[in-house]
A and B are shown apart, each in its own frame.
Chain A
Amino acid sequence: MNEYAILSIHGVLILFGVLLMTPMGSSIAAMFHSRYPSTTTRRGQILAGMMFVCLGGFTVSAQTLWMHNKLSEGASVCSGDTILNCDGLIGNAAYNTDPLLDQPWGLIGMVAFTLLMWFVITIAKEPMSSETPLFIKGGLGATIAGLPVIALLVSYEIKEGLICPFCTVTHITNVIALIGFFMLFKMYESDNWAPELKKSSRK
């Protein structure tokens, strides 16, 4: 299968999550109301959307790790004459591992999105828990910590004059997750987190 066809599968997961997170998500979420009653609330829709976004980020990171391994075997997985070229970046030994742990970037992405997914699922399962603000801030902090890493990877792309579409989708997914956690943060501070309960009674 063409690599861009596979990338579009990850993209569909992420796009679906983004749609759920937007105000348009309420009509999409209606499909899940009977099975997942939490999606009747705005909070539940954002959390459901973030689960899809994190899942998409995880799968595209896993595919990046797969490509990293395949390239080391000598295969060509995403090369081309255009600026869009993964082989030149994921297959470049100078840039394809993180400078601190020397681990492939795909694995780092898998770990990061697993952690974000854990925050999201935990918040979704117990939204009224006293630790919820801690997990929201944890997710926010983790996604903000991802920004300098993204800047480093983009600097590699600029240096090589190439764009790795798979890596770029992962970077965008991190930014979407950051926006999602920020929305949750703002919502928790307001009465919209649990409209049935007043903020004062939650504390």
Chain B
Amino acid sequence: MHENGFAKFGENMKSMLHDQDASARSDAGIIVMSMFFAGLLVVAFTTNPIASGTKIGERAPEFTADAYNGNGWNSFEFESLLDKSWTWNSSEESPWIAVEFLDIDCGYCKNSATEVGEWAQMYSAEQWPGPDVVFVAVAVGFLGDHTRAEVLEFRTQYNNNFLYVDDLDISIAEEWEVSATPSYFLVQPDGIVAWNSNEATNSIGWDPKEEASTPLNGFDDGYVQLNEAIEQLTMLNRGE
């Protein structure tokens, strides 16, 4: 039974390959493949797609979550911080965004919290010659079930007077591929990730003018801190 079935299938395939109808199939194939590749070429030549992700040069995943801004927990859209028309030579001083993922029980997060709070003030102060940098902390619950009250206590304790986003269910962390805290990202005003502390070599950043990665001066594979990335990348191409 099976042998007959296979034999019949084999005969059908043989006839499909060799009979005169093959010409119709190949003609149709040439027409539709020409149409398909013509369509792909038009799309390829008229667009320059950017992948969504958290590697440098990718578009940072957007999210909506509750966030504490000093007056209470309100709905916050990451997109509201972006200026999608921004380019490297924009005359407008749109703010850059520094995103920190932290867990309030993580020792490294506690050690750096005061410093991060100082940077948040420093990079939006009058004395800072570069564009403003908006700081956003995303509080995750990797190391236990925390409450919003505990998150606020941490925020107050370390004088972090910037936005704290509730990600205690770690949904944003998963989307941003964050598996350890603290993790830092520097995002251009148009939403492109300019620097990611978790890159295998984190002494590289994104040059929006060249649309390519660029080494950060003076680090040669050494560990770069968020403030150093901010100072180099926000000032890149300025004055040109």
> Which residues in A have some Cβ–Cβ distance to B below 8 Å?
55, 58-59, 62, 65-66, 68-70, 72-76, 93, 110-111, 114-115, 117-118, 121-122, 125-126, 129-131
Contact = CB atoms under 8 A, between A and B. Distances in A.
Interface residues of B, number: 31
B215 to A, nearest CB: 26
B47 A125 contact: no
Interface in B121-165: none
B43 A66 contact: yes
A131 B27 CA distance: 15
Given A122-B25, A129-B24, A131-B16, A72 B32 contact: no
Given A93-B61, A121-B28, 17 more contacts: A66-B42, A66-B43, A66-B46, A72-B52, A73-B48, A73-B50, A74-B84, A74-B85, A74-B190, A110-B39, A111-B36, A114-B32, A117-B32, A121-B31, A125-B27, A130-B21, A131-B21
Contact of A129 (B21, B42, B59, B191): B21
Contacts of B32: 114-115, 117-118, 121
Main secondary structure of the interface of A (DSSP, over half): helix
Contacts of B33: 114
A108 to B, nearest CB: 13
Contact of A126 (B24, B50, B59, B84): B24
Contact of B36 (A68, A114, A121): A114
Instruction: Tell which of B16, B43, B48, B190 has the most Cβ of chain A within 10 Å.
Output: B43
A32 B28 CA distance: 20
B43 A69 contact: yes
Given A72-B49, A74-B59, A114 B24 contact: no
B39 A59 contact: yes
B10 interface: no
Nearest to B25: A122
B47 A93 contact: no
Contact of B59 (A66, A72, A121, A131): A72
B43 A65 contact: yes
Contacts of B49: 68-69, 72-73
B69 interface: no
Nearest to A61: B39
Q: Which 8 A-B pairs have the closest CB atoms?
A: A69-B47, A121-B28, A125-B24, A74-B84, A69-B49, A126-B24, A62-B39, A129-B21
